[in-house]
Structure 1
Amino acid sequence: MNDDLIQYLLRLGDTALIQGQRLCEWCGNAPAIEEELALMNVGLDLVGQARNWLEYAAELLDDGRSADDLAFGRDERGYRNLLLVEQPNGDYAVTMTKQFLYDAWHFAVLQQLCNVEDERIAGIAAKALKEVTYHLRRSSEWVQRLGDGTAESHNRMLAATEQLWRFTVELTSADEAEQRIADANLGANPVVVAQEWLTRVTQVFELATLPVPGPANYFYLSARKGLHTEHLGLILAEMQYLPRTYPNATW
């Protein structure tokens, strides 16, 4: 169970970290200064959450590594983030569609984690839920605004959904280890999360005049096994460059 819990914490932490890193790529490139500030704030929230999850994982590993070591010392096969969040930002339709699909899942997971048996997990989740409530509201509004906007924005949202939907298979399915964590009241129930995620996505897509695709089919890669798309390696190469080049550097 300890190994299952460590992998679960890494999944939560790695996913938040990579999505935060992706959002920070919009710094200096966002379509408006207000959006740049909003994206950076969401990204910083996620990096902070990632630190909390990775610190707990490091304590359970008890092998001398810190949260920083886990973030900057593992290669792509060691990462457990959702495949969805490592996908490129693309245009703003892709960025906000990806953010919304992740937020809807993240919100459902955190709601359940607030009530698990492990007080450390419940505490981290309760703090994160306050931030993710805002994240979800913001991304939901953007999906509606773009989906039900101009013909151009609507078509871009259709294209973004088609591009990203296959990766949602990881949001609505679970492996045996994740189910064991849920059964032990240490993690979110994946069946409930999948139902709440689909309900939320359906509601927002209807308001955005966007069709909801059918269930995503099996995908040959799996973040749970460390099998990622080619995009994660490029993210880590940039994110880990300084700490790997100067491993003993201090501020």
Structure 2
Amino acid sequence: MSDDHVYMTLAEGHDDSDARWAFGTGFEDPLHGVDTSVPAGVDREALAACCLALGDDALVSAQRLAEWTTRAPELEEEVALANIGLDLLGQARLLYARVGQVDGTGRTEDAYAYFRDAADFRNVRLAELPNGDFAFSVVRLLVLSSWRLAHFERLTAAADPVLAAIAAKGVKELAYHRQWAAEWAVRLGDGTEESHRRMQIAMSGAAPYLSELFAVHDARDEVVAVLKQVCETAGLGLPMIGPLPGSGVTRAHTKHLAPLLEELQSLARAHPDATW
């Protein structure tokens, strides 16, 4: 099966015949109809680990973005943040479904999203930090979308055609996410004295967590180039990228992930066999 064919299959709409949790509505298997066999020579364990980590980053980021519903500074931006979150949820679904195909467990996407504890998640720390100031959420989205976009652009050439197709679909979405965040960063950084101050604080707050991103996937050149361009346009100073706070071990978590997952997973865990 060609990559183009896989991509077209992924892009097709899903009917509602196979009801399950699937983030709140009925969906069939997101990889339904796609040849999910693992090509010869591909390390199944490494493939599953890659998809799981990327899925966790997307799911946790989407949950944080959802918290801006009814709280964003403008209605239009509330809608934009919700749509960005939905894009990330879609990426998480596809990635979790692929994990279930290759890790030998046969688990569904819901099992990965709702029935794992915080210690089992592999998302980066920056994704799980509280939203805080709107400026921090803008900076975080700018950083994570730039980093994820660079990663997905590389993965479009992955040996696994399913992962390559997921990445190709995600590149277009992530390019928009990065653009939205960059425009807001410039708007705030080059705005009032107060908005400039808050953006500078946000930049400084996110900077220490970049080293973890680069330890997981080295996109330093691409991410730093984007941040430099945005900071120069916005009149902001780009803080030094320091060591990761607390520990140099990647994929560790802060105290903030467990409460986030408790809220995300509460309904599914209370009614584990329910569908709608």
TM-score when normalising by structure 2: 0.81
Matched residue pairs, number?
234
Contact 2:207 2:242 (8 Å CA) reproduced: yes
Contact 1:81 1:223 (8 Å CA) reproduced: no
Corresponding residue number in structure 1 for 2:109: 67
CA distance in 1, matches of 2:138, 2:239: 17
CA distance in 2, matches of 1:196, 1:114: 17
The structure whose residues are more often helix, as a share, is 1
CA distance in 2, matches of 1:61, 1:223: 24
The reply on whether 1:195 has 2:237 as its aligned counterpart is: no
Cα shift at 1:223: 7.5
Corresponding residue number in structure 2 for 1:244: 269
Extract unaligned runs of 5+ from structure 2. Answer: 1-42
Cα shift at 1:215: 2.3
Q: Which has the larger radius of gyration?
A: 2
Cα shift at 1:221: 4.4
**Letter matched to residue 203 of structure 1:** Q
CA distance in 2, matches of 1:21, 1:156: 23
CA distance in 2, matches of 1:75, 1:133: 31
Cα shift at 1:86: 0.4
Q: Say if 1:34 and 1:233 are closer, same or farther in 2 by CA, change over 3 A.
A: same
**Letter matched to residue 267 of structure 2:** L
Which structure 1 residue ranges, 4+ long, deviate > 6 Å from structure 2?
Answer: none
Q: What do the CA deviations read for 1:148-170 (whole angstroms, capped 9, x no partner)?
A: 11110010011111222111111
Q: Percent identity?
A: 39
Contact 1:221 1:228 (8 Å CA) reproduced: no
CA distance in 1, matches of 2:250, 2:45: 13
Cα shift at 1:218: 3.6
1:62-211 aligned at under 5 Å gives the runs 62-174=104-216, 190-191=217-218, 193-211=219-237
Q: What do the CA deviations read for 1:120-147 (whole angstroms, capped 9, x no partner)?
A: 1110011111111111111011111111
Contact 2:52 2:95 (8 Å CA) reproduced: yes
Contact 2:56 2:123 (8 Å CA) reproduced: yes
Contact 2:190 2:235 (8 Å CA) reproduced: yes
Corresponding residue number in structure 2 for 1:22: 64
CA distance in 1, matches of 2:184, 2:195: 11
CA distance in 1, matches of 2:247, 2:107: 28
Q: Secondary structure of the residue that 1:15 maps to in structure 2? A: helix
CA distance in 2, matches of 1:222, 1:46: 27
Cα shift at 1:3: 2.0
Corresponding residue number in structure 2 for 1:182: none
Corresponding residue number in structure 2 for 1:212: 238
**Letter matched to residue 47 of structure 1:** L
**Letter matched to residue 238 of structure 2:** V
**Letter matched to residue 208 of structure 1:** A
CA distance in 2, matches of 1:136, 1:92: 16
Q: What do the CA deviations read for 1:182-202 (whole angstroms, capped 9, x no partner)?
A: xxxxxxxx44x2211111111
| CA RMSD, 1 decimal | 1.4
CA distance in 2, matches of 1:248, 1:94: 38
Cα shift at 1:224: 4.4
CA distance in 2, matches of 1:169, 1:51: 27
Q: Secondary structure of the residue that 2:215 maps to in structure 1? A: coil
**Letter matched to residue 91 of structure 1:** D
